[in-house]
Amino acid sequence: MRMEMNVSQVTYFTLSAYFDIGLFKYAIFFFLMCVYIFILSSNILLIVVICVNRSLHEPMYMFLCSLFVNELYGSTSLFPFLLVQILSDVHTVSVPLCFLQIFCLYMYVNVEFYNLAVMSYDRYLSICHPLHYSTQMSFDMVVRLTALLWVLSVVVIVVMITFNASSDLCGNIIDRVFCANYYVVKLSCRGATASNIYGLVYTFSVLFSLAALILYTYVKILQVCFSGSKQTRQKAISTCTPHLVSLLNFSFGSFFEIFQSRFDMSRVPNVLRIVLSLYFITFQPVLNPLLTFKNVAKNRKAFLE
């Protein structure tokens, strides 16, 4: 029989996924530090370039700027925490800090997905309705969509955190290297009916709708590619490929995070489980700047004007 503990009595969570790797932890620390420095420097550089260069004040680059800000935010909510935990011998985190990290990470995930969905709609208008693009995707519309995706993410995550923070806990062990919402929910003494219902409603009403929007836009873009001229196909490929690669990569990482949190992964090596759980928050902020640098390099005139 488990002794019930209220969340106000639980002062810390223990992250049990860490294990002793000896001196090898310094190599991992150095590697993650280099990755974090690259994320900071590349994303900040691109934000500055987009803001300073007037020729890049277009909807596509403005949405990219929002994406880079989100990736700075998301990676900063994880990397400093990981770096401290790697060098520490005691892998614990206070309850407020744990819920703050959950808020930041899930905020990052939501904004990233919303942003990629909005970008797919932007590419659809640009390729399928080029004559009406400037009026339908005006500066005011870009600002409204960007503000909406951030505000909606805040509301969604605040409601989720409210459900979890008010529940009673029957333990404080989280089998992760960072705080994850599902693992906190599993510690609830009275179950997580309200949280699960909220998750299902949100998934079907919002996430599936956005996924359908993305699918619809790319079906239409493919139709234009197959029926249009060679120039139209080249434009579609050059503008959509980076976005599509980013979308597939993010979906891949999110799928593995959801899959391993819901199913028994005990047969999978611990190191691989940790890598997969970190994939969506580490590789995405590295990939997007690289894709953008490559795309901008093909359009040097935009930088020289």
Could you tell me the mean pLDDT of each successive run of 10 residues in the chain, 305 residues long? Answer: 48 85 88 94 92 86 93 92 90 90 92 93 88 88 94 90 77 87 80 72 82 89 78 74 86 80 74 83 90 68 43
pTM beyond 0.85: the answer is yes
DSSP for 127-188? Answer: HH-GGGHHHHT-HHHHHHHHHHHHHHHHHHHHHHHHHHHTSEES--EESSSS--HHHHHTTB
How many whole angstroms separate alpha carbon 18 and alpha carbon 82?
Answer: 10
Comparing C-alpha atoms, which of 49, 70, 42, 113 is closest to residue 286?
42
Comparing C-alpha atoms, which of 53, 48, 61 is closest to residue 292?
61
Q: What is the pLDDT of residue 304?
A: 43
How many whole angstroms separate alpha carbon 154 and alpha carbon 103?
Answer: 9
The full length of the chain comes to 305
User: What are 65's two structure tokens?
Assistant: 């700027």
> What 8-state DSSP symbol labels residue 1?
-
Q: What is the pLDDT of residue 83?
A: 92
Q: What is the pLDDT of residue 191?
A: 62
Q: What is the pLDDT of residue 46?
A: 92
> What 8-state DSSP symbol labels residue 206?
I
- Please report the domains of the chain, with CATH numbers, ordered by start residue: 5-304 (1.20.1070.10)
* Strand, helix or coil for residue 92: strand
Q: What is the pLDDT of residue 5?
A: 43
- Residues contacting residue 101 through CB under 8 Å, at least 6 positions apart: 77, 78, 81, 93, 178, 179
